[in-house]
Structures are given as C-alpha cells and as structure tokens.
Amino acid sequence: MALDQATLDALLDTVRRFVRDRLVPLEARVAREDRIPEDVVAEMRSLGLFGMTIPEEFGGLGLNTEEECRVVMELGRTSPAFRSVIGTNNGIGSQGLVMDGTVQQKQHYLPKMASGEIIGSFALTEPGAGSDAGSLTTSAKARDGGFVINGTKRYITNAPHAQLFTVFARTDPSTSGSRGVSAFLVDAKAPGITLGPANRKMGQHGAHVCDVIFEDCRVPESALLGGQANLNKGFQTAMKTLDRGRLHIAALAVGCAERLIDDSVRYALERRQFGEAIAQFQLVQAMLADSRTEAYAAQCMVLDSARRRDAGEQVTMLASCSKLFATEMVGRVADRAVQIFGGAGYMEEYGIERFYRDVRLFRIYEGTSQIQQTVIARQMIRAAGD
Ligand SMILES: Cc1cc2nc3c(=O)[nH]c(=O)nc-3n(C[C@H](O)[C@H](O)[C@H](O)COP(=O)(O)OP(=O)(O)OC[C@H]3O[C@@H](n4cnc5c(N)ncnc54)[C@H](O)[C@@H]3O)c2cc1C
C-alpha cells in the first residue's frame, strides 16, 4: 500500500460521503442538462480527485493501483459521467506522461493535471482506426526542428474541456502498423487544432466527447513524449497506459453494479405484489443472488489483478480478464435491475434505465470485449509457447 490503512480508510469514507450526499442527488439534473455544475468540479479539485494516480512529488495523491480501484469503486456508485470528469487526468490522459514522460515534461504538466487546473485527453482513435489502433494514419512530419501534425481523432473524451492532448501520430511513414507511431503532448490552443461538435450519445450525459482535427499543427520537438528516446515508440506507451486504464474501468463497473444491486434490493423490499414484497419471490431472489455473485467475482478479480500489478507483475492478461468480466457483468446486473423494477425500471424518473444506458459504454471503450478476448487468448498462446 502506498497509503497507510487509516489514511486510505479516511479517503474512501470522504469519497463515499461525497458521492452519497453531493453527486447522487444531482444525477437526474446532470443527465437532463448534459452538464456537471462547476461547483461540483471545484469540489472534486479540492478533494484531490484529479490527481489520484499522479505521483506525490508532482502534487498528486500517488495512489497505487489497488487504492485507485477502491476509490473508483466508490465513485462508481453514482452516474459514471461524474467519474468521467476526473477519468482522463487519472488514466489515459496522464499515465503516458507519468510512465514515459521526460522530467521536464512531468514537471511542466503533472502538477497542473493533479490539481485539475488543466484537463488532459488521450487522442488515439481515428475514423478509420478504432480496435485496430495501430493502423492510425494521423501523421507527424519532422520539420524545422519540430513536427507538423495532420489527421483526425475521433470520440475523444473530455476534448471539449481539455487543455492538453496526448496525440498518437505516425512519425515513420514507411511503417503501417503499430511501429512508427509516436506520442505528442499538444497544447489544445495550438494553431491548426479544431474541435468537432460534441457527439450526442446514448448515455453518460454530462460527459463530453468530440472529434479533434489537426491541420498543419506545428509542435516543437519538446512535445515528443519521452523525447527522442521515445521516437516511434508511442504505441507501447499507449498500451502500457491501457493496462492500468482497463483495471480502472473494471473497478468502475464493479461500483456501478454495487449501486444497482443496492437499488434493486431496496425496491424489491418496498414493492408489493400478490400481497407481499416482491423480494419474497424466489424468481426475484434468483436475480438478486446472480447479481451479487457476479459483482463479488468481478470485485475479487479487479483487486487481485491490481495487487499483482502493484507487486510488479505483468498484468496485461489479468487486466483484460477483469475488464471483460466486470463490464459484461455490469451489463447483466443493469438488465436484471430493470427487470426487478418492472415498468418503473423502464421509466426515466427511477434512474435505472439511465444506468442501463450509461454502463453500456464500458464494453466498448479502452478496448471492446472482443479485443479483451483477443488479448487474453494471445497471452495464453504465447505463454504456452514459452
Ligand atoms: C464515449 C466514447 C468515448 C471514447 N473516448 C476515447 C478517448 O478518450 N480516446 C480515444 O482514443 N478513443 C476513445 N474512444 C474510442 C474507443 O476506444 C473505440 O470506439 C473503441 O476502441 C472501438 O473502436 P471502433 O468504435 O472503431 O469500433 P471497431 O473497431 O470498428 O469495432 C466494431 C466491432 O468489431 C469488433 N472487432 C474489431 N476488431 C475485431 C477483432 N480483431 N476481432 C473481433 N472483433 C473485432 C469490435 O469488438 C466491435 O464489436 C471512445 C469511444 C466512445 C464511444
């Protein structure tokens, strides 16, 4: 543990109370207005939530993976749009910099990301390169001691609010796969960057996503993440970032499942049919029991993989197993919650249908379920060949 037990318990208790008292009451309003109130974002800043995974020397909380997952499980007990505000600064938007950035780059950006003064976004996906991210065509051509970036990035979380993009672009035009890609730290105000309109989404209203278009966007050589030593090695940076990110999303799925289970049990005890609470019916009990069992299994998987990562183990396969199981699991839990609520589960005012839509995304981003399956199988096959 990076924190002593008492400090971790205090942090978890603070986040639990913040979620219960501040965020849960705002869920319907945030979904309706598609906007998170600025005072809530300010409270997230003061709680240190933007810098959970950023090392203490750069102003963050420096949580290890297990601690991060435990906090994220608490944050999962409310609309995932709230988590999205701080998600990129703790995950894909900062971890490339934490893992592979130069000392100067870290000193320049990480303290501002930890405090939430700047928002970082991760720009990998393109219109023609989603699951096959290594086929990206955004180019970064060396010119006049710097680089010129051209291309379009798609579905970039927090892009409308970001001050910093970690952009993946091809620096070696003779390659077409994942080799020959570099990562760049690009100021969102750099000339040559335009943002598309915010995408209208199925769920997670309040969290914003849009295209980021680069047209002859000039960046200095110092923008190359990790410096010259990292030229053409950006794809490895992206993949390392995703190992931890996948555990973060799996933990979030566990948190959402816990919330849906609590809501389902409460409703099943309150709602009466045939003269008794529906919780007394064994067919309803079966749904509750299946959800409890699956959420418990996912929680164990996430915490075990996180601990192993913290102990220095390579957890690519376990992170994929955790993300695959936890995100599919929360889809089933949300579906059962709608069923337990009956007609009310389908109605906006109860909020269950909103979670049903919100959690759907977890099976798509940071690697679809099918991509997790291919990662797991590839690792199994490789291990069998060793
Ligand atoms: C709300 C939202 C936020 C996002 N935020 C970000 C972000 O911040 N930064 C970023 O870079 N990207 C982001 N993304 C992009 C996201 O990571 C991609 O959408 C995802 O990786 C899938 O790519 P795709 O949409 O192109 O689907 P495709 O790759 O076209 O996949 C379509 C289907 O084909 C399947 N498939 C593809 N290849 C294989 C294969 N080899 N074997 C089996 N099945 C396969 C997929 O599993 C899927 O079912 C976001 C997406 C969304 C929706």
- pLDDT tens per residue across span 326-373: 999 999 999 999 999 999 999 999 999 999 999 999 999 999 999 999
User: What's the rounded Cα separation, in Å, for the pair 126 and 152?
Assistant: 6
Q: Is the CB of 131 under 6 A from ligand 1?
A: yes
Task: Quote the ligand 1 centre to 130 CA distance (angstroms).
Answer: 5
State which residues of the chain have pLDDT below 50: 1
Upper half-sphere CA count for residue 189 (Cβ side, 13 Å):
3
Task: Quote the ligand 1 centre to 159 CA distance (angstroms).
Answer: 17
User: What's the rounded Cα separation, in Å, for the pair 94 and 109?
Assistant: 9
Q: Which of 83, 155, 358, 378 should be mutated for ligand 1, with most atoms under 8 A from CB?
A: 155
Using the atom order of ligand 1, give the atom closest to the CA of residue 132.
29
User: What's the rounded Cα separation, in Å, for the pair 226 and 164?
Assistant: 16
Task: Quote the ligand 1 centre to 368 CA distance (angstroms).
Answer: 6
Is residue 353 part of the annotated active site? The answer reads: no
The sign one gets for the Cα dihedral 86, 323, 295, 283 is positive
Give the pLDDT of residue 241: 87
Nearest CA to ligand 1 atom 24: 130
Q: Which of 365, 372, 375 should be mutated for ligand 1, with most atoms under 8 A from CB?
A: 365
Contact 346, 338 (CB under 8 A): yes
Nearest CA to ligand 1 atom 14: 155
Q: Is the CB of 370 under 6 A from ligand 1?
A: yes
Nearest CA to ligand 1 atom 29: 131
Q: Which of 125, 157, 202, 320 should be mutated for ligand 1, with most atoms under 8 A from CB?
A: 125
User: What's the rounded Cα separation, in Å, for the pair 125 and 283?
Assistant: 43
Radius of gyration for the chain, computed over Cα atoms and rounded to the nearest angstrom: 21
Give the pLDDT of residue 204: 97
Amino acid at site 375:
V
